[in-house]
Amino acid sequence: MGRHSCCYKQKLRKGLWSPEEDEKLLNYITKHGHGCWSSVPKLAGLQRCGKSCRLRWINYLRPDLKRGAFSQQEENLIIELHAVLGNRWSQIAAQLPGRTDNEIKNLWNSSIKKKLRQRGIDPNTHKPLSEIETTSDQEKQQQLTINKNNINNERNSEESKEKQYPLEVSSSSMMTNTSTSPQTQEFFLDRFASAASNESSTTSCRPDLVGYFPFHKLNYEPNIGLSVNLNSSSVSLCFNPNSTSSEMIPELNSSMTQTIIPSMFQTPIRVKPTVSLPSDNNNPSVCSTDHVNGVQNWEASSFSNNCSTSNGSTTSNNSFFDSNMTFSWGLPDCGKSGGDDHDQEAQLIRGLENDQEDIKWSEYLNTPFLSTSQPMYSEMIKPEAAHFITDGSSTTNWLHQNQHLHQQISQVPDMYSKDLQRLAVAFGQTL
C-alpha cells in the first residue's frame, strides 16, 4: 500500500485506522457532515488525506452499513448483476443496501469467482468453462493460421499488406474470443454488415453469433427493428421498437430481449430492486421482504433469462450454484461508453437517467439502519438518512417523483413499453 502524493507532502498517516481516528472522523461527520472531503481531515483533527477519510467513511463508518457475511441471496444477486453489469462494483453495490463496492469486489475476487469456476462457469463471461476452453483451443489453431499467413504475407510484396488479415482469418480468430475487445466489437459489426450487404441479411446472419454482439456499439434508432445502416460512414445497428425484431432478423429474435434489452439498461438505468412502491408491488413472488432485518430479498432468478413462466409466475432457485443456468447476455465490459456513436442511445436513456438521483433516495429508504451489531456507533444515524426516515414529506416526494419516472416510461411507445414491462417483471418491478 503506497501513499498518496498529498500524503507524502503533508506526512500524513497511512494504513489501518485506529479506533481514535475512527471516532474523530465519526464525530466530525456526525456533527457537520462531510462537506468537502479535502477539508475533513483538517477540521476533524486527523493526519489523513481527504480521500482516505472518504473511503473510511464509505467502507466502514457509515451507519447504514450492513455487517456480517453475505447471505446466499446476496451472493446470487451479485452474480446476476455481475452478469449484466460486469465489474461495475459501485452499481452492483447500489443494488445491495448496506454493502459497499469494495466489499462486493473483495467477495467476488475471493469467493464467488472460485465458486463459479468450481461449477464450471467462467466468472468473466458467465459462460460454461468448456465453451471457453473449446474456443481457446480454436483460437490457438486460428493463431497458427494467422502466423502462417503472416509469414506468407511477409514474403509477398507491398500490395499484400492490405490483405494481411483477411476477414476469414481474423474474424474467426476474434469470434472465438469472448472478451469484448474493440477488435471483437468491430469484427461483429463488420461481420454483420457484410452479411447484410449480401442482401439476404436476415438469413445470412449466423446463429452462432447470437449472444456475442457488442451491443454497446449499437445505435438504437427508432425506425427499424434491428437493421444495418450501411449508408453512414460507420456501420451501425439499429434497434427499432416499432417493428418486431423477427421481421428483420429472425435469428436474433429470441436473443433480442435477452441480450439487447438488458444491455440497453446497463449503466444509465439502474436495476433497482430496492425501489418498492408498496401498492405497486404486484409481483410478490419476485421480491420478498425480510421483515426481521428490514432487508429486501431478491430471488436470484428474477434476473435470469428464464425466470418467468408463461403464466407470469416466477421460478427461482435458492442458490445460484444449484442451478445450471449461465448468463450469456451482458458481457463484462460491454457497457463502457464508447463515445460519440452513443448519442442516440444516450438520448434514449437520458430521460430516465434524470431520475437517477431520485432513485438513489430509495437506497436510504430501504437501508437497514442499525440493523446489525455496531455497538460502538449504534447511536449514529447518517443525518440525511435519518431525515429520509423521519420526514414523511420527503418520502412522499420521492414516491411522487418515482411515479413521475414511471409515467415517463409509460410514454415510451407501446413496443418499448412491452419490452420494458417484460424487463421490469424480470427485474422485479412493474412499470
Partner DNA sequence: AAAGCATCCAACCGCTTCTAC
Partner DNA sequence: AGTAGAAGCGGTTGGATGCTT
Q: Which of 55, 381, 386, 415 binds DNA (CB under 7 A)?
A: 55
Nearer to DNA, 73 or 202 (CB): 73
Nearer to DNA, 1 or 151 (CB): 1
Nearer to DNA, 107 or 300 (CB): 107
Nearer to DNA, 47 or 401 (CB): 47
Nearer to DNA, 40 or 228 (CB): 40
Among positions 317-346, residues that touch DNA (CB under 7 A) are 337
Among positions 95-124, residues that touch DNA (CB under 7 A) are 101-103, 105-107, 109-111, 114
Nearer to DNA, 13 or 422 (CB): 13
Q: Which of 5, 231, 373, 393 binds DNA (CB under 7 A)?
A: 5
| Binding of residue 377 to DNA (CB under 7 A) | no
**Distance in Å, CB of 284 to DNA, minimum:** 30
Q: What are the two backbone dihedrals, phi and then psi, of residue 47, each rounded to the nearest 5 degrees?
A: -95, 55
Q: Which of 20, 27, 35, 136 binds DNA (CB under 7 A)?
A: 35
Stretch that binds DNA, among 14-22, 137-145, 215-223, 401-409 (CB under 7 A): 14-22
Nearer to DNA, 36 or 151 (CB): 36
Per residue, the 3-state secondary structure of the chain, as one string, reads CCCCHHHHHHCCCCCCCCHHHHHHHHHHHHHHCCCCHHHHHHHHCCCCCHHHHHHHHHHHHCCCCCCCCCCHHHHHHHHHHHHHHCCCHHHHHHCCCCCCHHHHHHHHHHHHHHHHHHCCECCCCCCEHHHHHHHHHHHHHHHHHHHHHHHHHHHCCHHHHHHCCCHHHHHHHHHCCCCCCHHHHHHHHHHHHHHHHCCCHHHHCCHHHCCCCCHHHCECCCCCCEEEECCCCCCEEEECCCCCHHHHCHHHHHHHHHHHHHHHCCCCCCCCCCCCCHHHCCCCCCEEEECCCCEEEECHHHHCCCCECCCCCECCCCCHHHCCCCCCCCCCCCCCCCCHHHHHHHHHHHHHHCCHHHHHHHHHHCCCCCCCCCHHHCCCCCHHHHHHHHCHHHHHHHHHHHHHHHHHHHCCCHHHHHHHHHHHHHCCCCC
**Distance in Å, CB of 327 to DNA, minimum:** 17
Nearer to DNA, 55 or 209 (CB): 55
Among positions 61-100, residues that touch DNA (CB under 7 A) are 87-91
**Distance in Å, CB of 162 to DNA, minimum:** 32
Stretch that binds DNA, among 8-16, 213-221, 245-253, 310-318 (CB under 7 A): 8-16
Q: How far apart are the C-alpha atoms of 354 and 269, rounded to whole Å? A: 10
**Distance in Å, CB of 358 to DNA, minimum:** 14
**Distance in Å, CB of 59 to DNA, minimum:** 6
- Count the residues of the shown chain that bind DNA, applying the rule CB under 7 A: 41
Q: How far apart are the C-alpha atoms of 385 and 365, rounded to whole Å? A: 8
Nearer to DNA, 51 or 422 (CB): 51
Q: Which of 1, 158, 278, 284 binds DNA (CB under 7 A)?
A: 1
Residues in the site for DNA, rule: CB under 7 A? 1-5, 7, 13-17, 34-38, 48, 50-52, 54-56, 59-60, 87-91, 101-103, 105-107, 109-111, 114, 337
